[in-house]
Amino acid sequence: MAAILESDAAQPAFTARHIGISAGDRATMLAELGFGTLDHLIDAAVPAAIRSTRRLRLPQPVPEADVAAELAELAFRNRVSVPMIGLGYYPAITPAVIRRNVLQDPAWYTAYTPYQPEISQGRLEALLNFQTMVGDLTGLAIANASLLDEGTAVAEAMMLMRRASGSSSRLLVDSDTLPQTLEVLRTRAAAIGVEVELIDVTDLLPGGEFFGLVISYPGCSGEIRDLAPLVVQAHERGALVAAATDLLALTLLTPPGEFGADIAVGSAQRLGVPLFHGGPHAAFMAVRKGLERHLPGRLVGVSVDAAGNPAYRLALQTREQHIRRDRATSNICTAQVLLAVVASMYAVYHGPAGLTAIARQVHDHATALAAGLRAAGHAVVTEHFFDTLTVRAPGRGAAVVDAAHEAGLLLRLVDADHVAVACSEITTAEHISSVLAAFGATPCAARQETAGGLPERMRRRSGFLTHPVFHEHRSETAMLRYVRRLSGRDFALDRGMIPLGSCTMKLNATTQMEAIGLAGFADLHPFAPPEDVAGYTRLIRQLETWLAEITGYAAVSVQPNAGSQGELAGLLAIRAYHRDRGEARRDVCLIPASAHGTNAASAVLAGMRVIVIASQDDGAVDLADLEAKCRQHADELAAVMVTYPSTHGVYEDGISRLCDLVHEYGGQVYVDGANLNALLGVARPGEFGGDVSHLNLHKTFCVPHGGGGPGVGPIAVAAHLVPYLPTHPLHPDPRRRLGAGTISAAPYGSAGILPIAWAYIRLMGDAGLTEATKVAVLSANYLARRLSPSFPILFVGENGLVAHECILDLRPLTAATGVTVDDVAKRLIDFGFHAPTMSFPVAGTLMVEPTESEDLAELERFVEAMVAIRREIDEIAAGVVAVEESALRHAPHTTAAVTGDEWSRGYTRGHGAFPTGASPDKYWPPVGRIEQAYGDRNLVCSCPAPATFES
pLDDT of residue 947: 62
| Residue of 580, 87, 125, 608 whose CA lies nearest to 133 | 125
Q: Which residues of 776-807 are buried (b: 16+ CB within 10 A; e: fewer)?
A: bbbbbbbbbbbbeebbebbbbbeeebbbbbbb
Are the CB atoms for 142 and 941 separated by under 8 Å? yes
Residues 582-608: tens digit of each pLDDT? 999 999 999 998 888 789 999 999 999
**pLDDT at 24 > cutoff 60:** yes
pLDDT band at 738 (very low <50, low <70, confident <90, very high): confident
Q: What is the pTM of this model?
A: 0.96
**pLDDT, average across residues 681-693:** 98
Measured on CA atoms in the order 135, 136, 138, 139, is the torsion positive or negative? Answer: positive
3-state secondary structure 622-637: CHHHHHHHHHHCCCCE
Domain range enclosing 620? 519-762
Residue 235 lies in a domain: yes
| Residue 653 one-letter amino acid | D
Percent with pLDDT over 90 in the chain: 90
pLDDT band at 325 (very low <50, low <70, confident <90, very high): low
Domain ends where: 309, 336, 363? 336
Of 1 and 258, the structure prediction assigns the larger pLDDT to: 258
pLDDT of residue 327: 62
Residues 285-312: tens digit of each pLDDT? 999 999 998 999 899 999 999 999 999 9
**pLDDT at 937 > cutoff 90:** no
Establish how many alpha carbons lie within 13 A of residue 251's alpha carbon, considering only the half-sphere containing its beta carbon: 22
DSSP assignment, residue 102? I
Cα–Cα distance measured from residue 156 to residue 647, given in angstroms and rounded to the nearest whole number: 27
Query: Range with the lowest mean pLDDT among 192-201, 351-360, 726-735?
Result: 726-735
Cα–Cα distance measured from residue 739 to residue 721, given in angstroms and rounded to the nearest whole number: 12
CA angle 772, 923, 696 (to 5 degrees): 30
Are the CB atoms for 359 and 324 separated by under 8 Å? no
Residue 421 lies in a domain: no
Cα–Cα distance measured from residue 656 to residue 638, given in angstroms and rounded to the nearest whole number: 18
Residues 460-480: tens digit of each pLDDT? 999 999 999 999 999 999 999
* DSSP string across 594-624: TS-HHHHHHHHHTTPEEEEEPB-TTSSB-HH
**pLDDT, average across residues 700-714:** 94
Residue 187 lies in a domain: yes
Q: Give Cα separations from 783 to 32, 548, 789, 791, 915 (angstroms).
A: 10, 32, 11, 11, 21
**pLDDT at 404 > cutoff 80:** yes
CA angle 278, 279, 281 (to 5 degrees): 125
**pLDDT at 509 > cutoff 90:** yes
Residue 346 lies in a domain: no
pLDDT of residue 5: 35
pLDDT of residue 740: 86
Q: Give Cα separations from 562 to 130, 283, 606, 711, 931 (angstroms).
A: 20, 13, 16, 5, 30
**pLDDT at 77 > cutoff 60:** yes
Of 57 and 507, the structure prediction assigns the larger pLDDT to: 57
Which one of 8-12, 136-140, 317-321, 840-844 scores highest in mean pLDDT?
A: 136-140
The CATH number of the domain where 593 resides is what?
3.40.640.10
Residue 328 lies in a domain: yes
Cα–Cα distance measured from residue 876 to residue 827, given in angstroms and rounded to the nearest whole number: 14
Domain ends where: 290, 310, 336? 336
Cα–Cα distance measured from residue 240 to residue 216, given in angstroms and rounded to the nearest whole number: 14
Domain ends where: 281, 312, 336? 336
3-state secondary structure 343-372: HHHHHHHHHHHHHHHHHHHHHHHHHHHHHH
* Phi, psi of 610, rounded to the nearest 5 degrees: -95, 125
Residue 747 lies in a domain: yes
Residues 853-866: tens digit of each pLDDT? 999 999 999 999 99
H/E element, 337? helix 337-375
Residues 510-548: tens digit of each pLDDT? 999 999 999 999 999 999 999 999 999 999 999 999 999
Domain count, the chain: 2
| Residue of 819, 900, 872, 680 whose CA lies nearest to 19 | 680
| Residue of 541, 538, 355, 613 whose CA lies nearest to 460 | 355
H/E element, 537? helix 534-551
The number of residues in the chain equals 951
| Residue 603 one-letter amino acid | A
Which residues are within 8 A (CB) of 876 and not within 5 positions of it... i.e. 6 or more apart?
817, 818, 819, 882, 883, 886, 888
Omega before 218 cis (within 30°)?
yes
pLDDT of residue 41: 98
**pLDDT, average across residues 165-169:** 85
Phi-psi region of 630 (alpha: psi -120 to 50; beta: other; left: phi over 0): alpha
Residues 424-463: tens digit of each pLDDT? 999 999 999 999 999 999 876 444 445 578 999 999 999 9
Residue 3 lies in a domain: no
Residue 135 lies in a domain: yes
Q: Give Cα separations from 542 to 537, 558, 742, 759 (angstroms).
A: 9, 11, 22, 11
Cα–Cα distance measured from residue 570 to residue 581, given in angstroms and rounded to the nearest whole number: 17
